[in-house]
Amino acid sequence: MKILIVGGGGREHALAWRLNQSPRVTDIVVAPGNPGLSGIARCVNVAADDIAGQVALAKLERPHLVIVGPEAPLVAGLADKLRAVDIPVFGPSARAAILEGSKGFSKDFMAKYEIPTAAYGRFTEAAKAKAFLDRFTAPYVLKADGLAAGKGVVIAETRAEAEAEIDAMLGGKFGAASATLVIEEFMHGEEASFFALCDGETAVALAGAQDHKRVGDGDTGPNTGGMGAYSPAPILDAAMQAQVMDKIVHPTVRGMAAEGRPYRGVLFVGLMIENGKARVVEYNVRFGDPECQVIMARLKDDPVPQLLACATGGLAGCKRMERFSDPAVSVVMAAAGYPGEPKKGGVIRGLEAANKTPGVTVFHAGTAQRGEDIVANGGRVLNVTATGPTLQEAVKRAYQAVDLIDWPDGFCRRDIAWRALARG
Ligand code: AMP
């Protein structure tokens, strides 16, 4: 089989790395890809959100399956355009990707199908939005309706801050994405990520993970796209996974089918778990980054039959992917300045030695090739990913590899997986 992967970060590197191990796969193309893929995939320089360019590439390459990594091309309808030319796609149509593309849609949908989530209101007028704050106490949760490059959620500590943010968002802070605003109840508890595979009718559990959003040790400092992740997540034990499938995933897939928006691809549910009950924080319509890296590292069964079934139907008849290896952890190495303006261009050495550490694979997230050198070319630059017989051992291996990487501009958190390690 030939597989085309859309995207160029650590998530797409991890997908290509795992698919390269499948006996069914002979050829992998990644667009745009990154230098870490050399030797396992052919990279073609088409941007992930260049919809016309991606369709033209797929028509030229005629892959047996396209896997779309990021959300933006899905929300923009890439999967629809590929299906229209008979190319199987792992990823939802635009009508289904609206689960991530519009917070207002997803909240109304959850209310209709009685899927547990925070109480909310949806607003286009500042005065009404401000009056709605009376229902809650601080902190206040404000969300831009549309995609805002991961920056559309604001947790305001005071009423004054919340009111100022309402004016800013409805005043066009995120352009059309914040013309509508969702205000919701602040949920307490422990966050976790759950992933299920769906073919429009059937959903099967894949795995759970937890990530670290704050830039600094001890979960301090500004929010980021994610500074590290691990899987499995102890809080998502078998009973909790069964609850999430029963109360959230199955009703979501049934509800989307009933709405005429059948959901195909991976459904990533962001959860808040308190007192044994899981509620939805948000839906995502693609793999998490860096959660994908740890899930791919753990997966022993060949994922190709299930990924293909998500695209073409028949997931119910597929053998479940049940064999997972030891725990996995991924430590993100970011460039100085991140999550603000990152320092680009610094030479990264020691990657070969790091990759030789037992159980370790270094995925590239934001690198570029400059002559013979690999240089930093983004905020989150490397995902140092390790498996081990225990989570402790996986963490030790990951940091051993981190310490072999010679990149003066790079930094990482030193406490990835602390929550799971603290449970013992
Ligand atoms: P989202 O992009 O919707 O996942 O929101 C980003 C982050 O904001 C989440 O990972 C949570 O940490 C936090 N968050 C979002 N909504 C809520 C909520 N209703 N209560 C508490 N925290 C929230």
- For tokens 């943010």, what's the residue? 165
94 and 262 Cβ atoms separated by less than 8 Å: no
- Ligand 1 atom index nearest CA of 152: 2
Whole-number pLDDT of residue 351: 98
By alpha-carbon position, which residue is closest to atom 8 of ligand 1? 153
pTM of the model as a whole: 0.95
Residues 6+ apart with CB under 8 A from 75: 94, 97, 98, 100, 101, 147, 285
Ligand 1 within 6 A of CB of 270: yes
Ligand 1 within 6 A of CB of 191: yes
Residue 322 tokens read as 């049940």
**325 CA distance to ligand 1 middle (Å):** 30
Ligand 1 within 6 A of CB of 139: no
The residues with which 328 forms a beta bridge, in sequence order, are 231, 387
Of 105, 132, 153, which is best to mutate to test ligand 1, by the most ligand atoms within 8 angstroms of its C-beta?
153
Whole-number pLDDT of residue 419: 84
**360 CA distance to ligand 1 middle (Å):** 31
Of 117, 137, 154, 155, which is best to mutate to test ligand 1, by the most ligand atoms within 8 angstroms of its C-beta?
155
Whole-number pLDDT of residue 147: 87
Other C-beta atoms closer than 10 Å to the C-beta of 112 total 11
192 and 271 Cβ atoms separated by less than 8 Å: yes
In angstroms, the CA 272 to CA 52 distance is 38
In angstroms, the CA 318 to CA 315 distance is 5
**Parallel/antiparallel/unpaired status of strands 190-199 and 181-184:** unpaired
- Regions of the chain short of the pLDDT cut 50: none
Ligand 1 within 6 A of CB of 142: no
Whole-number pLDDT of residue 424: 65
Whole-number pLDDT of residue 331: 98
E strand residue ranges, 138-235:
140-144, 153-156, 181-184, 190-199, 203-211, 214-216, 220-223, 228-231
**Parallel/antiparallel/unpaired status of strands 2-7 and 65-68:** parallel
By alpha-carbon position, which residue is closest to atom 2 of ligand 1? 153
Ligand 1 within 6 A of CB of 153: yes
Walk across the sheet containing 347-348 and list its strands: 347-348, 373-376, 367-370
Ligand 1 within 6 A of CB of 186: yes
